[in-house]
Amino acid sequence: MPARELDTELAACRNDDERAARLRARPFFGVPLLLKDVGAATAHRGLPSRAGSRLFPQGAPWPVDGTLTQRYLAAGFVPFGRSTSPEMGMSASTEAVAYGGPTRNPWNRAHSSGGSSGGAAAATASGMTTIAHANDGAGSIRIPASACGLIGLKPSRGLMPTERRLRIGLIKQFYEGDAVHPEVAAVLQEFALQLQRLGHAVEEASIDFTTHEVVFPVMQGVATGTALFLDQLAASRGRAIDPGEVEPVVWSAYQHARSVKATDYLAAINTFHRLGRRMAVFHERFDLLLTPTLAEPPAVLGRFTMDRPDFIDYRLGPTGLWRYTPFCPLANATGAPAISLPVGRSASGLPIGAMLSALHGQDLLLLQLAAQWEAVHGPVPLAGERP
């Protein structure tokens, strides 16, 4: 809703009681909001989308407002622009050619703000906005939250409030046992001690599957979803997508999807269900899973540019994105909620995040624990407010 309409609405209130009731009905009354430049859920008739792609040089207009946009407007938010994203939201670093340059980390401009919601995180961490919309297909909220020192929640589809002493399983290395960056490990260990001092039980744990077992079916879904979108675009405009119109990683994903059989796709869905069942067994022992959000501090810009010709190698090769973000895709595969908290800094002052994951539907439990921790350790500083 435009700010002028909100002003008129508030001015029409005849007394303090009516004003208070109006503000209760719209809890984010007048709060500016950036909408991420990817996804139909945040379609907005006044804010065209580019999806980080040269396919939409002027932005693709939306004929109607998306469901999520409608809810934001009903809550009183004032959307005023789009935040940057890698092309089609396909990278953990926001460096889309379409925007003319990378989205930089406010803590250190030589480093990545993460992705794919890198623009949302950079805008919030820099103080441009106090809150921003994002979405998360394989860590796209939690990765930039960790890189920019913010809180980022990837929600599940339901809520289940609970109050109890929590049992937290700690995994501080790759699922295969490889060590994460030593500064990340040290920050995670200190955060585990902070949780213990809050009265929770933290115990080292392990999971009996590999990172590739999680990430590969997620990437199958990413590739086929990208192909569906590009096929629909080609049909609507009456001509095929040319490889020069998209970045090489996106083109490779498009081609890879052609090799994915229906049985391959169903196998990926079956893997998601199997991982969900295995995590249900994990949660019989532990209320929450604690891991790093990223395996190392925020990447230097240029490391994950999307000019690579092989989508699978870009994601799963020896130096692929899975070595940077091995932990986030699990919650996307299972549908569980997960939250990244800005719990420490590297020696050079870059943010380091820790991630907590819960059973499906226990979003509120994550928010309650985050609030408990923040009440003791203070509000999250922005990039211009270095502790």
Length of the chain measured in residues: 387
Q: Is 36 a known active-site residue?
A: yes
* pLDDT score for 256: 97
234 in a structural domain: yes
CATH number of residue 250's parent domain: 3.90.1300.10
324 in a structural domain: yes
C-beta of residue 119 within 8 angstroms of C-beta of residue 103: yes
C-alpha to C-alpha distances, 55 to 42, 83, 97, 230, nearest whole angstrom? 19, 17, 11, 10
**pTM of the shown model:** 0.85
94 in a structural domain: no
Above pLDDT 70, what percent of the chain? 97
Q: Is 261 a known active-site residue?
A: no
Structurally, the chain folds into a number of domains equal to 1
d(CA 195, CA 370): 10
SS3 112: strand
pLDDT exceeds 50 at position 161: no
Range of the domain at 209: 163-381
* pLDDT score for 3: 85
* pLDDT score for 387: 56
Number of alpha helices (DSSP H) and beta strands (DSSP E) in the chain: 12, 10
203 in a structural domain: yes
Q: Could you write out the DSSP letters of every residue in 318-383?
A: TTSGGGT-SSTHHHHHHT--EEEEEEEE-TTS-EEEEEEEESTT-HHHHHHHHHHHHHHH-PPP-T
The chain-wide mean pLDDT, for the chain, equals 93
**Other C-beta atoms lying within 10 Å of the C-beta of residue 8:** 10
pLDDT exceeds 70 at position 1: no
262 in a structural domain: yes
Q: Is 140 a known active-site residue?
A: yes
Q: Residue 354 is encoded by which pair of tokens?
A: 């820790």
pLDDT exceeds 70 at position 376: yes
Tell me which of 36, 112, 146, 357 is the catalytic residue. Answer: 36
For residue 142, give the DSSP letter.
H
Of 57-61, 101-105, 347-351, 377-381, minimum mean pLDDT range: 377-381
Angle subtended by helix axes 363-377 and 182-197, to nearest 10:
90
DSSP H or E segment with residue 109: strand 108-112
| Nearest-5° Cα angle at 145, 182 to 187 | 25
* pLDDT score for 380: 83
Q: Residue 209 is encoded by which pair of tokens?
A: 């599957």
Reported as a pLDDT band with limits 50, 70 and 90, residue 384 is confident
* pLDDT score for 64: 86
How much is the average pLDDT of 258-265? 95
Tell me which of 53, 93, 113, 116 is the catalytic residue. Answer: 116
368 in a structural domain: yes
* pLDDT score for 386: 59
* pLDDT score for 67: 85
d(CA 204, CA 345): 22
pLDDT exceeds 90 at position 382: no
33 in a structural domain: no
C-beta of residue 19 within 8 angstroms of C-beta of residue 11: no
How much is the average pLDDT of 353-375? 95
212 in a structural domain: yes
Tell me which of 140, 252, 346, 357 is the catalytic residue. Answer: 140
d(CA 371, CA 133): 20
